[in-house]
Amino acid sequence: MTKQHLSAIFFALASLTTSVAHAEIQTWRLTATTTGVSSGFTAPAFASLGHTFSVDYAIDMATPYDAPSGGYKAVKSLTINGVTTQLTNQNYVFAIAANGIGGINTVIPVARADQLQFISYSESWPNPTSTLSSVLSELALMHGQNAPYYPPNELHLNFVGGSVQAHPTSFALSPVPEPTSLGLMLAGLAALGVVARKKSKR
């Protein structure tokens, strides 16, 4: 393996890292504590009364506004209870100025072991903004100290046979790379390792 080949591989990996850094997909993590369970329903252990859990939303920040739905069909997947589910275009981030409300609605398109079907996260604030990035930022600010907003802050999880209500305690951009991006970076590092081993044997 020549120095030129090795340089080319390093350049390709650098380009890959740059493209990953500028990826449009962002992961936003919502943390909440269960405050209520519908009568006669036994909630999954992760969402039982008093338990704290998280929901990771993978959001495509390049998604344009969709007027008919009143929001951005930007939620591509979610991870909850240790399971990631790919979503369809029925899932969106919304802000309705007339009603003073914003949030994220997600419909689960496939059967899950925990029988989760729908998640609705909503926050109320006086003047919801309209751009995707600003809506997410406003949702994050709802949980900051001395934020000039008001309740209710609600998270509803609908399962087959019952529902769970939870109180959101935080909503923030997660620094954890998307699985696809992480996989690409690891593949690039593995390729460099193979090249290095071949070079050392010569």
Reported as a single tens digit per residue, the pLDDT across 174-184 is: 875 545 555 55
pLDDT of residue 168 exceeding 80: yes
CA distance 161 to 40: 9
Ranked by mean pLDDT, which of 58-62, 67-71, 193-197 comes out on top?
58-62
Tell me: the pLDDT tens digits for 119-148?
A: 999 887 656 566 899 889 888 887 644 444
Q: What is the pLDDT of residue 79?
A: 97
Contact (CB, 8 A) for 16 and 184: yes
Q: Half-sphere exposure of 31 toward its Cβ, with a 13 Å CA cutoff?
A: 7
pTM of the full predicted structure? 0.73
Q: What is the pLDDT of residue 138?
A: 84
* Mean pLDDT on 57-79: 92
If you count them, how many residues does the chain have?
202
Q: What is the pLDDT of residue 176?
A: 53
- E-assigned strands of the chain? 25-37, 52-60, 71-72, 75-80, 83-86, 92-96, 101-107, 116-124, 153-159, 162-173
Specify the amino acid at residue 149.
Answer: Y
Q: What is the pLDDT of residue 139?
A: 85
CA distance 123 to 168: 9
Q: What is the pLDDT of residue 21?
A: 40
Q: What is the pLDDT of residue 107?
A: 94
Tell me: the pLDDT tens digits for 91-125?
A: 889 887 666 778 899 999 999 999 999 999 988 76
In terms of Cα–Cα distance, which of 82, 91, 150, 140 is closest to 119? 91
Q: What is the pLDDT of residue 175?
A: 77
Burial of residue 25, with CB atoms counted within 10 A of its CB: 0-12 exposed, 13-18 middle, 19 or more buried: middle
Chain center to CA of 90: 15
Q: What is the pLDDT of residue 192?
A: 52
Q: Of residues 4 and 33, which shows the higher confidence score?
A: 33
